[in-house]
Amino acid sequence: MAKSYYQLTEGEWSIIRAVWKHEPCAAPTVQEVLVKSRKWSYSTVKTMMDRMACKGLLKTERLRNLILYRSSITPAQAQKGEVMGAVKRAFNGAMTPMMQFLLDSNNFTAKQLGELETLIKQKRKNSAPKKSRK
């Protein structure tokens, strides 16, 4: 069974974003995208992409002498890993203190708070136990 989320390093985030945007793509394409922000050589990018493929973050496909890469994970899986990792490290995995911290440390507008309330109500509605018919 595939993992529902993955924790990526900062470098892996840079690569996976480039792959999401250009897939299927070869390592030189990713290196060109990242050269301005990361100044990584081709060999660095290729090594990282091969390691990401071994970790199950990328899939490879060989076309003659060209290796194309595709993402194996969705943006939602990557985001979930990032958030869950932060919750685990900063709040010992407890969601309520994390949510309290976010509410206390940000200046949410009334509209944003209303949107959050709507999301919570919808989540509560969808997670309520279903009554069985007799």
What is the per-residue pLDDT across 33-64, written as a single tens digit (0 to 9) for each?
A: 999 899 999 999 999 999 999 999 999 999 99
Domain range summary for the chain, segments of one domain joined by +: 1-93, 95-125
Q: What is the rounded average pLDDT of the residues 9-29?
A: 96
Identify the pLDDT of residue 118: 95
Identify the pLDDT of residue 18: 97
Q: What is the rounded average pLDDT of the residues 53-82?
A: 94
As a whole number, the mean pLDDT across the chain is 91
| Beta carbons within 8 Å of 28's beta carbon, 6+ residues apart | 42
Identify the pLDDT of residue 35: 92
Distance, in Å, from the CA atom of 80 to the CA atom of 110, rounded to the nearest integer, reads 26
Distance, in Å, from the CA atom of 122 to the CA atom of 8, rounded to the nearest integer, reads 30
What's the CATH fold of domain 1-93?
A: Arc Repressor Mutant, subunit A (1.10.10)
Distance, in Å, from the CA atom of 77 to the CA atom of 108, rounded to the nearest integer, reads 26
Q: For the beta carbon of residue 26, count every other beta carbon within 10 angstroms.
A: 16
Q: What is the rounded average pLDDT of the residues 7-36?
A: 95
DSSP state of 7: -
Identify the pLDDT of residue 1: 45
